[in-house]
């Protein structure tokens, strides 16, 4: 009974925060299902006269949303894979190895976090033009990877340091090679941190706007942030029902990825502990 009362008190205290966080999603869903004439009628309603599911169909067909969704998925997945492939060995080396210039390298990674892509966008634009990679999703993914590696290394480093090195030593004593010990002992233990880092990297690449605006020139290569921004700029009348429908669909892949990785984070943590 005391636990139930305590839980009720916690929910009452947290309810204003929950409402504040859910309010934008409620507006987004309500507007995306409202007919266009009602959105601009000046008499907004939370529940429309009828649910206009056709808004999603019209948005998908008229603005090329499917193409932008594919581009964002390509950029997000490629950025995440490249970042994890580089940051995991780098973080492991920072934790387990001793080499000359290690502290300088750590300081360099920390300093790079002070620079924003917006500050460097002109220089990066000239660099991309110079190598002939303008309007390339691959070039954009590589740039995103460069900005996310430092954050990923520092995030992984703090978790890797908590994994006892004695587990790897035990595997070595049983005849396992260094690579086999890392693959069968260290990697399962590090799975939760890798999953969280991959999630943050994907979200960062998924939502980035300024650098994509500078690098991508043709509309067929636009990512979702550029395509959604194009729906609300340079138009005589903004079709908010289409904008909100596009925004709602754009949140679905991130939500699915979060739920999937959340399940794998718990599995990886328990699986790594058993294997260790």
pLDDT in tens, 230-241: 777 656 667 777
Mapping DSSP to helix (H, G, I), strand (E, B) and coil, where does residue 130 land? helix
Please tell me the predicted confidence (pLDDT) of residue 80.
93
Q: How far apart are CA 235 and CA 18, in angstroms?
A: 34
| Continuous segment of H or E residues that includes residue 84 | helix 65-96
For residues 147-151, give the mean pLDDT.
87
Mapping DSSP to helix (H, G, I), strand (E, B) and coil, where does residue 186 land? helix
CB contact at 8 A, 4 and 28: no
Please tell me the predicted confidence (pLDDT) of residue 272.
41
CATH architecture of 63-275: Orthogonal Bundle (1.10)
With 70 as the cut, is the pLDDT of residue 124 above it?
A: yes
CA torsion 43→247→237→234, rounded to 10°?
150
Q: How far apart are CA 244 and CA 25, in angstroms?
A: 10
Please tell me the predicted confidence (pLDDT) of residue 36.
66
Q: How many CB atoms lie under 10 A from the CB of residue 89?
A: 13
Q: How far apart are CA 154 and CA 161, in angstroms?
A: 11
With 50 as the cut, is the pLDDT of residue 276 above it?
A: no
For residues 41-68, give the mean pLDDT.
76
Please tell me the predicted confidence (pLDDT) of residue 273.
43
46 Cβ neighbours under 8 A, 6+ residues apart: 26, 30
Sign of CA dihedral 16, 18, 23, 29: negative
With 70 as the cut, is the pLDDT of residue 42 above it?
A: no
With 80 as the cut, is the pLDDT of residue 168 above it?
A: no
Residue whose entry in the numeric block shows the structure tokens 């500078």? 214
Q: How many CB atoms lie under 10 A from the CB of residue 105?
A: 15
Q: How far apart are CA 135 and CA 221, in angstroms?
A: 7
Residues in the chain: 276
Domain boundaries, the chain: 1-54, 63-275
Per the confidence metrics, is the pTM higher than 0.85? no
For residues 66-92, give the mean pLDDT.
90
Please tell me the predicted confidence (pLDDT) of residue 57.
80
- pLDDT level of residue 269 (50, 70, 90 thresholds): very low
Q: How many CB atoms lie under 10 A from the CB of residue 208?
A: 23
For residues 57-80, give the mean pLDDT.
86
Q: What is the DSSP letter of 134?
A: T
Closest CA to 243 of 229, 226, 222: 229
């Amino acid at each position: 009974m005391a636990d139930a009362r305590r839980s009720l008190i916690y929910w009452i205290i947290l309810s204003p925060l929950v409402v504040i966080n859910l309010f934008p999603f409620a507006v987004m869903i309500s507007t995306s299902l409202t007919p266009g004439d009602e959105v601009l009628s000046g008499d907004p309603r939370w529940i429309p006269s009828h649910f206009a599911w056709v808004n999603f169909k019209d948005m998908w067909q008229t603005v090329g949303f499917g193409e932008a969704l594919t581009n964002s998925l390509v950029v997000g997945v490629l950025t995440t894979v490249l970042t994890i492939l580089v940051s995991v060995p780098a973080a492991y080396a920072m934790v387990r190895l001793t080499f000359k210039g290690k502290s300088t390298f750590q300081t360099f990674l920390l300093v790079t976090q002070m620079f924003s892509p917006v500050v460097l966008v002109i220089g990066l634009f000239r660099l991309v033009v110079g190598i002939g990679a303008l309007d390339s999703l691959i070039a954009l993914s590589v740039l995103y990877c460069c900005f996310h590696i430092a954050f990923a290394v520092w995030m992984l480093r703090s978790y890797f340091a908590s994994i006892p090195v004695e587990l790897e030593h035990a595997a070595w004593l049983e005849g396992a090679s260094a690579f086999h010990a890392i693959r069968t002992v260290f990697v399962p233990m590090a799975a939760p941190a890798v999953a969280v880092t991959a999630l943050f990297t994907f979200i960062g690449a998924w939502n980035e706007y300024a650098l994509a605006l500078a690098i991508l020139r043709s509309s067929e290569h636009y990512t979702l942030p550029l395509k959604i921004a194009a729906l609300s700029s340079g138009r005589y009348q903004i079709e908010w029902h289409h904008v909100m429908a596009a925004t709602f669909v754009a949140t679905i892949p991130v939500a699915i990825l979060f739920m999937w990785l959340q399940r794998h984070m718990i599995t990886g943590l328990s699986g790594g502990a058993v294997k260790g």
